[in-house]
């Protein structure tokens, strides 16, 4: 009788009810004891961590350090991926090392290459000193430009050429040296036994006579000029045991040079300037005798007045001395016989 009807099972009824009624979830109990037990269970669970081998880490790090490059193909929405390129990170330590190595290579090339060999020495400021003589004395041709120390070259110039007062050396890359010198100006021309010995400048430095000069005062002497106080013969100076002093002391006392210049303006124009080691500076008087005033110009005005009175007295007495000394103001004397 039930041949035409379809029988419904219990499972079909349950599925039909779930479609009509919403699913009701079982509420989580709010009992504190239940929550504490759940937390204890979670804490007791063992968490396993996956260990990576060095090979895996290296490969992943290498993958991260590679830069991916994509190129468009011309078709919208499509592109071609090129092989990955590694990323290089340059540290400051590596950069400084590369710079140091580069500097060493550059110095080596400059020291050995002929491009940096000195082939030109330019001299300026010289009037009496020829550039060829200076260049030959220094012998810098062919030297490496980096081995030239300007201060050492300046010292060498001043030692080799006493007639140079100052020198300045500049190095011009790649292979030139510029030298600027200041020559000494002669103030005195010293003659001993009527033979030229040397020039003397205002500061008392003596140097070899070069060429001609119209300014120097000729001094006819029978000995060397007076040295400054504390002057020591170069042969007697101590070596490295004494304190090093780069400045060479003058040969002549600068005050003596000033005295010569002052007396030269006082003496008669036609008279010769004389120097005697014992009596000092003087000249040949137009009356024929020699008069000396010592080595300094102290009280020179008083000495000249006293000398004028002595000359007047000598002429009144019709005397003909050969020598008059005015070295000491309060003790002048004259000599009638040589």
Could you give the CA distance from residue 253 to residue 205 in angstroms, rounded to a whole number? 9
CB-neighbour burial class of residue 229 (10 A; exposed 0-12, middle 13-18, buried 19+): exposed
**In angstroms, how far is CA 302 from the centroid of its own chain?**
53
Domain ranges of the chain: 96-183, 186-231+249-335
User: Whole-model pTM?
Assistant: 0.65
Q: First vs last Cα of the chain: how many Å apart?
A: 189
DSSP code of residue 127: S
Query: Which stretches of 113-170 are DSSP H helices?
Result: 131-138, 150-160
Q: How far is CA 198 from CA 189, 215, 224, 292, in A?
A: 6, 14, 11, 23
Query: Which phi and psi (to 5°) does residue 263 adopt?
Result: -65, -30
- Strands laid side by side in the 323-325 sheet: 206-207, 195-201, 186-192, 217-221, 273-276, 280-284, 290-292, 323-325, 333-335
Q: With respect to CATH, is domain 96-183 assigned 3.40.50.300?
A: no
pLDDT for 3: 47
In eight-state DSSP terms, residue 267 is S
Q: Do domains 96-183 and 186-231+249-335 have the same CATH topology?
A: no
Phi, psi of 180 (to 5 degrees): -115, 120
- Give mean pLDDT in consecutive 10-residue pieces for the chain, a chain of 338 residues: 60 76 59 57 54 50 57 72 66 84 78 79 89 89 86 93 94 90 94 93 93 86 90 62 61 94 92 94 94 92 93 92 93 87
Please, are residues 179 and 134 in contact by the beta-carbon 8 Å criterion? yes
**Sheet with 176-183, side-by-side order of all strands:** 120-124, 176-183, 164-172
The tokens describing 313, both together, are 């007295």
In whole angstroms, give the CA distance from residue 310 to residue 200: 33
Fold of 186-231+249-335: Rossmann fold (3.40.50)
Residue 263 CA: distances (Å) to CA of 5, 124, 301: 163, 36, 11
- Say if residues 178 and 169 touch (Cβ distance below 8 Å): yes
CA distances, 6 to each of 18, 64, 84 (Å): 21, 66, 68
């Amino acid at each position: 009788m039930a041949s035409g009807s379809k029988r419904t099972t219990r499972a079909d009824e349950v599925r039909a009810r779930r479609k009509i009624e919403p699913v009701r979830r079982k509420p989580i109990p709010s009992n504190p004891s239940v929550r504490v037990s759940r937390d204890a269970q979670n804490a007791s669970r063992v968490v396993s961590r996956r260990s990576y081998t060095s090979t895996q880490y290296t490969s992943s790090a290498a993958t991260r350090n590679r830069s991916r490059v994509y190129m468009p193909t011309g078709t919208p929405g499509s592109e071609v991926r090129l092989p990955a390129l590694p990323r290089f990170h340059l540290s400051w330590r590596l950069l400084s090392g590369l710079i140091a190595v580069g500097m060493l290579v550059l110095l080596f090339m400059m020291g050995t290459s002929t491009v940096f060999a000195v082939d030109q020495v330019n001299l300026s400021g010289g009037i009496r000193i020829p550039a060829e003589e200076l260049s030959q004395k220094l012998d810098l041709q062919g030297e490496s430009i980096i081995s030239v120390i300007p201060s050492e070259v300046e010292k060498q110039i001043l030692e080799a050429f006493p007639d140079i007062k100052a020198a300045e050396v500049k190095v011009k890359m790649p292979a030139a040296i510029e030298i600027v010198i200041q020559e000494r100006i002669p103030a005195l021309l010293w003659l001993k036994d009527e033979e030229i010995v040397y020039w003397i400048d205002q500061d008392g430095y003596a140097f070899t006579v070069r060429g001609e000069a119209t300014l120097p005062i000729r001094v006819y002497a029978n000995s060397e000029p007076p040295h400054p106080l504390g002057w020591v013969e170069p042969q007697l100076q101590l070596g490295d045991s004494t304190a090093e002093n780069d400045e060479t002391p003058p040969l002549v006392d600068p005050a003596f040079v000033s005295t010569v210049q002052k007396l030269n303006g006082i003496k008669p124009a036609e008279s010769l300037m004389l120097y005697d080691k014992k009596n000092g500076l003087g000249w040949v008087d137009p009356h024929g005798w020699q008069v000396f005033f010592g080595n300094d110009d102290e009280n020179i005005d008083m000495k000249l007045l006293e000398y004028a009175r002595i000359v007047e007295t000598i002429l009144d007495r019709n005397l003909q001395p050969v020598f008059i000394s005015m070295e000491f103001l309060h003790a002048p004397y004259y000599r009638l016989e040589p």
